[in-house]
Structure 1
Amino acid sequence: MANIKSAKKRILVNETKAARNKAIKSKVKTYVKKVETAVAHSDKAAAEEALKAAIVEINKAGSKGVYHKNTCARKVSRLTKAVNGIA
């Protein structure tokens, strides 16, 4: 356990940031799952709507520094490719 005041503060700040990052990642996973479910059911309209919402959330997570920009681009690309693959 830290004895120095600044170290104690860092521990608290790190816990707060970790909780925020975890919540954002969880939200992104939920939106991605909605897209994948729509793709699995071959529902083109629902998949496109879910994709729009997922892209917004993924980019928001990237802008907040939760994900690296290349990770965001990869996730968006894979989801878009899956939605476009629906006949």
Structure 2
Amino acid sequence: MANIKSAKKRIKVIEVKTARNRRIKSAVKTAIRRFEEALTAGNLEEAKAKFRFAEKKIMQAAAKGTIHKNAASRKVAKLASKLNKAM
């Protein structure tokens, strides 16, 4: 355990940021999973809506710095490719 006041504060700040990043990553994973479920069910209209939502969540995560912008773009491109193949 840290003894210096600033080190104690850094520990608290890191815990808060870790919790926030975990929530954001979970939301991204859930959005991707729901998109893929709609795609495998063959429901293209729902899949399009889920794709737009997943893309939004991924880009928000990139904007907040939770994931790198190139990783976000790669994820979106992969989902778009899956959607285009299904059409």
* TM-score, reference length from structure 1: 0.97
**In 1: Cα distance, 2:62 partner to 2:86 partner:** 27
Aligned 1:1-87 pairs, distance under 5 A: 1-87=1-87
Quote how far apart the aligned CAs of 1:42 are: 1.6
Deviations 1:13-59 (A, max 9, x none): 00000000000000000100011001111211011000001111100
Length, aligned pairs only? 87
**In 2: Cα distance, 1:15 partner to 1:45 partner:** 40
| RCO higher in structure (CA 8 A, sep ≥6) | 1
- Identity value in percent: 45
Q: For structure 2, list consecutive stretches of 5 or more residues without a partner in the other structure.
A: none
* Counterpart AA for 1:78: K
**In 1: Cα distance, 2:10 partner to 2:44 partner:** 47
* Counterpart AA for 2:48: E
**In 2: Cα distance, 1:84 partner to 1:28 partner:** 20
**In 1: Cα distance, 2:85 partner to 2:42 partner:** 9
Quote how far apart the aligned CAs of 1:85 are: 1.0
* TM-score, reference length from structure 2: 0.97
